[in-house]
Chain A
Amino acid sequence: MSKKVIMLSVAVLFGMQAGFAMAAANPDTGPGCGLGKLAWGDYAHQKNIAPQVLMATTNGTFGSQTFGISTGTSGCTNDGKVMSEHKTTMFAQLNFENLSQEMAQGQGEHLASLATLMGVPAEHQAAFFAMTQERYTSLVKTGEASPVAMVKAINDAIATHPVLAQVSTR
Chain B
Amino acid sequence: MVAYVIRRLFQLVIVLLGVSVITFAIMFLIPGNPAQLLAGRNPSPERVAIIRHHFGLDKPVYEQYLLFLDRLVHGDLGESFQFQRPVTSMILSNLGNTAQLAVSAVLIELLGIPLGIYSALRQYSFWDTALTTSALIIWGIPVFVLGLFMQTVFGLYLGILPVSGGGGRTFLYVFPADWTNLSVLILPAVTLGLIEVAYISYMQRASMLEVIRSDYVRTARAKGLPERSVVLKHSLKNAIIPVMTIAGIDLGALMGGAILTETVFSRPGIGLMIYQAIGARDLPVVAGGVLFATLVYVIANLLVDIGYAYVDPRIRYED
> Do the two shown chains form a genuine complex with each other?
no
Seen from chain A, the residues whose Cβ lies within 8 Å of a Cβ on chain B are none
Please give the residue numbers on chain B whose beta carbons come within 8 Å of chain A beta carbons, in ascending order: none
